[in-house]
Amino acid sequence: MSVSGEEVTIGLGAFGMLVAWWLGFSWMPGRAYLSGAQRAGFAYGLGLVWISTMMGVLAVLGVPVTRMVGVVSIVGPPLGWWLWQTWRLRRVAEREVSVGVIRPVLSRDPWWWGLAALLGVLCAIVVVRATVKPMYFWDGWATYALKAKIIYLEASVPRAIFDWVVAPNYPLGVPFQEVWVAWFAGSWDDVAVKLLFPGYALALLCLVYGTLRDRWGARAAMGGTLFVAGLPFLLQHAQDAYTDLPLAYFVLGNAVALTRYALSSDRRDLVLASVFAAGLVWTREDGLIVVAANALLLAALGARRGGLTSKTSVTAVGIYLAFPALVWGAWTLAKLHMGISTNLHVDSSDVMGLDRWQTIFEVFVRALFLQGNWMILWALFSLVFVYEFRNTLTEESMFLVWPVVTYLVVIGVLVFMSELFRFLWGDTVLHRLILHVAPLAALWVALTCGRWWGLAEPSPDVRGEG
Amino acid sequence: MNTLAPPLFGDRSVWAILIPIILLAATTGTLLRESDTRLGGATRRWAWGLVVAVWIFGFGVGVYHQVGALRVDVSRFGGVSRAEAYAAIDHVPLWDDMQHVARLISPRRDVEVFIDYDRPDVQLMWKERARYYLYPIIVRDASPVMVRYFGQAHTPCAQVESDRTLLHEAERFCLFQVKK
């Protein structure tokens, strides 16, 4: 059996993706800090945020963003850190592991294997669909991949890129990640580059499984993961190069890390959430809505515990906002310097006032409930939200529920105010916006229904699981 | 053309029937979640069972939809060369033609791409695809060099742009330069 050049290129691209994963693992503190699945879930985002931020730094410093310079400066620091950590903290890590409850990653339960096989089939379909064809849909190549191709071929971020490429105001996080894969592929190959996106889906599912497994048995956790993985629109987006799934992944990771922080007050979780918040604003502009919502929730949590202006509260909000503020601040300065403004403009449509709200409400209801892209998710979410309203304010739930609600409300207001209103009827704009928070909503629904059904284990242990 | 995923069943279809059932069943299950009577327990189990059954149905349809999409993708793109795959996406061998153009122009020169086709959405699509394929040749309006792209057999280039110098004539495009 012979292997074609294109297959070799795709294989090399996949290797680049695995290196990104390894970079995330190497930055992760302490082996016993997270369960195996959660580590895998967080590692991908950590690695990609590190890669795309470092590329931005290199470009700002005027260093050529070539493969050699890029790979050395991006892989070097985490490699050094990993070697030092491995050497210095080996014994500490072993001690941490021995304290925690070690669970095998794979279960012996045949039901677990059956559900895992179903999940495997879904993932295989996504990977085959992603690798069988080049980038297909508009935004994937016109908005993001073209920028990445230019950066890859120029080994810099040329000023001209912002003059004639679609949507110059969109953040460069994903294009930089695509450049990373292209470095490993050895040429610009948009099939190899597209492997990033099934990777996002896989990392998202690892996060979901890890989070459910912290509270439930293996079989129930796999069932809950299937509940999230079965969202049709999520599967559809895992096979082309839009930024909506990456944003959904960062939204979910943010919420999981902040929930861990709320339950344990471990600042490592806060730092993790901060890095994921940087991933949010570096992926899409609307990631800002979720970061702002989370900062407000953190402030509310601090106020409840020791007062809004207490040192702990201010420090927590400060740590959380540190990374996104740096990334977004630098990007905003760059945009101001180049005279780039937003592409979201106030609408001067004929439909105004109450008619406009009524239209928005109807279109939202149709998209959330009636069009099959989310199956029963939003029906269950609405119901659980009403019946569990008091519990939505607890540490366990606040970061899982309120970012979803806030995001949808703010998007509704933005649709009312801006020309987004005109796109409500067009193709899948609204569904793509809903996707940003849908996996998180599904996780919360799964957790709550699981609690109602008695799936939660008597003494959940969120630390030290194998 | 830009639709990534059309709704599975369209508006007000099967979900318009299933969602009220789900809401009713899940509400029943929720309200009875602390009921310890025999009837209450049985009703609760039936209600949640119905929710799970509808989810399994939706999941099955979702998998069926994905398998269908996989079959379409594999039948269109499986085993074909990259050039054929791009041609399947663009409905014309635009990628091949732009490779041809790229061999005729030195890199980093500007070129204007004029799409000679009667549908505005196709014009926009092909022009942006050409921009993507041609880089590092930059597509810019009012450039001295112009590609006139037809996507099919066309009238002789000399009759198309009489006030420009013809640089090259190909099966689906003409390459011109402004007369000096």
pLDDT at residue A459, as a whole number: 47
| Dist. CA A12–CA A135, nearest whole Å | 18
| Dist. CA A408–CA B36, nearest whole Å | 37
Is A366 inside any structural domain? no
Question: Cα dist. B134→A153, A194, B131, B137, B140 in Å?
Answer: 12, 20, 5, 5, 11
Report CB contact under 8 Å: A146, B33.
Answer: no
Is A80 inside any structural domain? yes
**Nearest partner of A50 among A87, A29, A24, A30, judged by Cα:** A24
Q: Which residues of B touch A431 (CB under 8 A)?
A: 5, 7
Report CB contact under 8 Å: A427, B3.
Answer: yes
B55 interfaces chain A, CB cutoff of 8 Å: yes
Q: Which residues of B touch A138 (CB under 8 A)?
A: 1-2, 125, 128
Report the number of distinct structural domains present in chain A.
1
For chain B, which residues make up each domain, given as ranges? 14-77, 83-178
Of A129, A134, A370, the CB nearest to B86: A134
B12 interfaces chain A, CB cutoff of 8 Å: yes
| Dist. CA A445–CA B141, nearest whole Å | 52
Label residues A313-330 b or e (16+ Cβ within 10 Å = b).
Answer: beebbebbbbbbbebbee
Q: What is the pLDDT of residues B48-93, one digit of tens each?
A: 999 999 999 999 988 998 999 999 999 999 889 999 999 999 999 9
Choosing among B1, B3, B4, which should be mutated to test the A contact, i.e. which has the most A CBs within 10 A? Answer: B4
Q: Which residues of A touch B125 (CB under 8 A)?
A: 138
Task: Using alpha carbons only, give the angle A4, A246, A76 rounded to the nearest 5 degrees.
Answer: 70
B2 interfaces chain A, CB cutoff of 8 Å: yes
Is A37 inside any structural domain? yes
The answer for residues whose C-beta is within 8 angstroms of residue A120's C-beta and 6 or more apart is none
Closest residue of chain A to B61, computed from CA coordinates: A232
pLDDT at residue A93, as a whole number: 57
Q: Which of residues 85-104 of B touch A (CB under 8 A)?
A: 85-86, 88-89
Report CB contact under 8 Å: B59, A142.
Answer: no
| The two structure tokens encoding residue A451 | 């609690």
**Nearest partner of A143 among A179, A171, A180, judged by Cα:** A171
What one-letter code names the amino acid at A374? W
Do residues A369 and A427 lie in contact, with contact meaning Cβ atoms separated by under 8 Å?
no
Q: Which residues of A touch B63 (CB under 8 A)?
A: 121-122, 230
Is A442 inside any structural domain? no
Choosing among A129, A133, A386, A388, which should be mutated to test the B contact, i.e. which has the most B CBs within 10 A? Answer: A133
| Dist. CA A299–CA A273, nearest whole Å | 15
Report CB contact under 8 Å: B70, A233.
Answer: no
What one-letter code names the amino acid at B69? A
B9 interfaces chain A, CB cutoff of 8 Å: yes
B121 interfaces chain A, CB cutoff of 8 Å: no
Choosing among A139, A370, A448, which should be mutated to test the B contact, i.e. which has the most B CBs within 10 A? Answer: A370
HSE-CB for A146 with a 13 A CA cutoff: 30
B69 interfaces chain A, CB cutoff of 8 Å: yes
Determine the distance in angstroms separating the CA of B8 from the nearest CA of chain A, rounded to an integer.
5
Task: Using alpha carbons only, give the angle B6, B8, B14 rounded to the nearest 5 degrees.
Answer: 140
Closest residue of chain A to B11, computed from CA coordinates: A371
Report CB contact under 8 Å: A427, B13.
Answer: no
- How deeply is A103 buried, as exposed, middle or buried, from its count of CB atoms within 10 A (0-12, 13-18, 19+)? middle
Determine the distance in angstroms separating the CA of A154 from the nearest CA of chain B, rounded to an integer.
8
Question: Cα dist. B180→A352, B104, B162, B163 in Å?
Answer: 54, 19, 14, 11
| Torsion sign, CA atoms A232, A234, A237, A243 | positive
Q: Which residues of B touch A125 (CB under 8 A)?
A: 66-67, 70
Do residues A290 and A280 lie in contact, with contact meaning Cβ atoms separated by under 8 Å?
yes
Q: Which residues of B touch A227 (CB under 8 A)?
A: 55
| Dist. CA B36–CA B44, nearest whole Å | 10
Report CB contact under 8 Å: A379, B19.
Answer: yes
Q: Which residues of B touch A389 (CB under 8 A)?
A: none
Question: Cα dist. A209→A22, A204, A215, A443, B81 in Å?
Answer: 20, 9, 10, 9, 38
What ipTM was predicted for this assembly?
0.89
pLDDT at residue A462, as a whole number: 44
Domain that holds residue A37: 1-100+110-242
Report CB contact under 8 Å: B2, A138.
Answer: yes
| The two structure tokens encoding residue A98 | 């021995």
Closest residue of chain A to B63, computed from CA coordinates: A122
Determine the distance in angstroms separating the CA of A6 from the nearest CA of chain B, rounded to an integer.
8
Is A186 inside any structural domain? yes
Under 8 Å CB pairs connecting chains A and B tally to: 151
Question: pTM to 2 decimals?
Answer: 0.93
B79 interfaces chain A, CB cutoff of 8 Å: no
Q: Which helix (H) or strand (E) holds B146?
A: strand B145-149
* DSSP three-state, residue A376: coil
Closest residue of chain B to A445, computed from CA coordinates: B26
pLDDT at residue B2, as a whole number: 34
Choosing among A376, A434, A445, A453, which should be mutated to test the B contact, i.e. which has the most B CBs within 10 A? Answer: A376
B70 interfaces chain A, CB cutoff of 8 Å: yes
Do residues A231 and A377 lie in contact, with contact meaning Cβ atoms separated by under 8 Å?
yes
Supply φ then ψ for residue B3, to 5 degrees: -75, 120
Report CB contact under 8 Å: B19, A375.
Answer: no
Do residues A406 and A293 lie in contact, with contact meaning Cβ atoms separated by under 8 Å?
yes
Of B70, B85, B131, the CB nearest to A146: B131
pLDDT tens-place values along chain B, 180 residues long = 333 444 454 555 688 888 999 999 999 998 988 888 999 989 999 999 999 999 999 999 889 989 999 999 999 998 899 999 999 999 999 999 999 999 999 877 899 999 999 899 999 999 999 999 999 999 988 899 999 999 988 888 888 877 889 999 999 999 999 876
pLDDT tens-place values along chain A, 466 residues long = 567 778 899 999 999 999 999 999 988 866 567 888 999 999 999 999 999 999 999 998 989 999 999 889 999 998 988 888 788 776 665 555 544 455 566 677 899 999 999 999 999 999 999 999 999 888 899 999 999 999 999 999 988 788 888 889 999 999 999 999 999 999 999 999 999 999 999 999 999 999 999 999 999 999 999 999 999 999 999 998 999 999 999 999 999 999 999 999 899 999 999 999 999 999 999 999 999 999 999 999 998 887 777 888 899 999 999 999 999 999 999 989 888 887 777 776 666 778 888 889 988 998 898 888 899 999 999 999 999 999 999 999 999 999 999 999 999 999 998 888 888 776 688 999 999 999 999 999 999 999 888 887 654 444 433 2
| Dist. CA B140–CA B112, nearest whole Å | 5
Report CB contact under 8 Å: B135, A150.
Answer: yes
| Dist. CA A320–CA A329, nearest whole Å | 15
For residues B149, B154, B156 and B162, what is the CA-based torsion angle, rounded to 10 degrees?
Answer: -50
